[in-house]
Amino acid sequence: MAKTVHDDVLDAALNYIKNNCTRMVACSSQPTTYTEANATYALADVTMASGDFTLADDTSGRKLTVAAKSGITVDTAGTATHNALLDVSNSKLLYVTTTSSTAISGTVDFGSWKINLQDPS
């Protein structure tokens, strides 16, 4: 029997991130808690708003594209290995992904990236 999911179901998860993410953080290690992402491993951060996210169809499901941000001040020099999306007002770690291991200091650019939710198969 085939599996299906309506786009609205996948969009609900992606829209939660889009509507609640208020900060993106470059981290020196994989955070598993809000505090680790916001303080312990935080190297640089930038304010985010719903307009920084674009929800769209993808070849295998749905995607949420995170806008690029440039010239972000680095608070602590180090090697960024992960990006984290946070809901600051509710102290929630919403999403973590790996990034190319990059030594950062001074300022940093966050390239555009996407979160994919695949259709069931």
**pLDDT attached to residue 2:** 83
Say if CB 44 and CB 26 are below 8 A apart. Answer: yes
CA 17 – CA 75 distance, rounded (Å): 24
Predicted pLDDT at 1: 63
Query: Residues of 37-62 as b/e, b for ≥16 C-beta within 10 angstroms?
Result: bbeebbbbbbebeeebbebeebeebb
**Whether the predicted pLDDT of 79 surpasses 80:** yes
Say how far apart CA 78 and CA 80 lie, in whole Å: 6
